[in-house]
């Protein structure tokens, strides 16, 4: 399952089959885009994303795809 989050032309997908919920994306993100829900990352605050790509490079499971990265 790959939930998709969209706002202001930004698109972020998180592969929940790969996500292990270690919060590496949340720790790397300077804009507080991510939240853990039921042990998986979500991106309810995608509108706050600065498109820095820290979440993509910070995810050890390569579970995040971002339209800007």
The string of pLDDT tens digits covering residues 26-40 is: 999 999 999 999 999
Domains in the chain, please, with CATH? 4-66 (3.30.70.20)
Cα–Cα distance measured from residue 10 to residue 3, given in angstroms and rounded to the nearest whole number: 14
Task: Give the global pTM.
Answer: 0.92
Token representation of residue 64 = 């995040």
Q: Over pLDDT 70: what percentage of the chain? A: 100
Sheet holding 64-66, edge to edge: 4-7, 10-14, 64-66
């Amino acid at each position: 399952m790959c939930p998709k989050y969209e706002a202001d032309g930004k698109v972020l997908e998180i592969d929940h089959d790969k996500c292990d919920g270690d919060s590496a994306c949340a720790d790397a993100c300077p804009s507080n885009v991510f939240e853990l829900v039921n042990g998986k990352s979500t991106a309810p605050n995608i509108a706050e994303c600065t498109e820095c790509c820290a979440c993509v490079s910070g995810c050890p499971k390569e579970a995040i795809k971002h339209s800007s990265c």
